[in-house]
Amino acid sequence: MTDALWTSDAIAAATGGAASAAFEADGVTFDSREVGPGDLFIALTGEATDGHRFLTQAFERGAAGAVVSEDSGNPQVRVGDTMAALEALAVASRERTAARIIGVTGSVGKTSTKEALFAALDRPDPGSAHRSVKSYNNHTGVPLSLARMPAGSKYGVLEMGMNHAGELAHLTTLVRPHVALVTAIAPAHTAFFPDESAIADAKGEIFAGLEPGGVAIVPFDSPHRDRLIAAARPHASEIVTFGLQAGADVRAIESMRLATGATFVTARLGERELSFTMAQPGMHWVSNALAVLAAVDAVGGDLGMAGLALAEMGGLQGRGARFMAPVGGGEALVIDESYNANPASMRATLAVLGAEDATRKIAVLGEMRELGDASGAYHAALAEPIAAAGVSQLVLVGTEMLHLAEALEGRVQFVHVADAATAGERLAEILAPGDAVLIKGSNGVGLSTLVARLKTPATGNGTASCSM
């Protein structure tokens, strides 16, 4: 019996395709740049590009075989539609595993919660848990993550995202979770929804895919809690709430910030109590941790090990990772939140910056995108959490940040720039040893390039310095 993730025969059986030769694959990807030795390359065809153009590159990088819709002359499984084949592999992968599956969605916190869940479930038995990598949570990322799941996995944690109604309804039928978790509802992609209630309805689609006997996990503190519970009720055998407020099934009865920036938490789950340290700072991370405990408990995981995993978990790149950047004759703390932003996550991370013990608190804030007609008001409303955090200097990036600039006029020192490159230049002019700087904005603003340059500063005359 082979230990391969996929054989050519299994791929052909799942997709209804025809194999040109026998091969075995240990991984799956549709990005030729990610192909490693022994991988299966799926040549997806889209509006912008065609994966068949990159078959030579994929096999030069060591691909074991490919799924194609036209003959390539390489070991392949030929199908009529490669996207349909990817979904077919996802379905077959889901059918062959006995793993307990957790589906995660939400307006904020879903990737961080997914990673924390994976760490909590994998810690007792490394290699037993599988999860989506990066933010592979859309119509291609979800089936790819499923297709990559080893058949012998004990747990699977799959992230699901959306920016239009109806998208989760399809993804959840592929994932078929035993546990469906909504982290939070917040203004995100509001350009595509009339209001937050509509966002809650779209997130609530995840519950329709629950397996018989499934558990729905809902944020108790959300103003949309009852709406989510109503969406879950027809599909879930059990509904569990989590939150900071009294009444939640899983709640924090004590939380205390430690000198290290971590938070000591005592959580109550029914009649049980668990005390642990949450390595990541901020009350939004305490909420994420409570959701993690609820999900681990729902799949029969080890809560004690989950607590240890939360204590050990470092920040994720673009989502709270921290590092010290050389600047002048010393260092400045950089909080990397550059991956994405919406009003709720902006407020949460500004509060984290406000709690830092630093000479000065500086923020580089990129515009928040896809907020529709209310975008101006959402941006202007950031003036209040900026003031509460004690931010002394700001670099605002992008057209929509003009609304915040107007709200801040005369209240705090700031500059407004058009792009990430200029933001880097302005930050280099003001950053000094002892500062703490938060870098956050929608991914399309490109602030991750600024973070990368802070990590690898230029040097001159043998002395490290911040140069952007």
Q: Name, in order, each residue with C-beta under 8 angstroms of 360's C-beta and a sequence gap of 6 or more.
A: 392, 393, 432, 434, 435, 436
User: Which alpha helices (H) appear in 299-458, and where do they start and end?
Assistant: 303-312, 343-354, 375-380, 383-389, 402-408, 420-430, 447-455
Angstrom distance (rounded) from CA 305 to CA 42: 37
Sheet holding 321-327, edge to edge: 321-327, 330-337, 436-440, 361-366, 393-397, 413-417
The CB density around residue 297, as the number of other CB atoms within 10 Å, is 22
User: Annotated binding residues for ATP, as ranges?
Assistant: 106-112
Angstrom distance (rounded) from CA 362 to CA 430: 9
CB 178 within 8 A of CB 140: no
Q: Name the DSSP letter for residue 259.
A: T
- Which tokens is 467 given? 């140069």
DSSP output for 228-266: HHHHHTTT-SEEEEEESSTT-SEEEEEEEE-TTS-EEEE
Angstrom distance (rounded) from CA 358 to CA 69: 57
User: Annotated binding residues, as ranges?
Assistant: 106-112
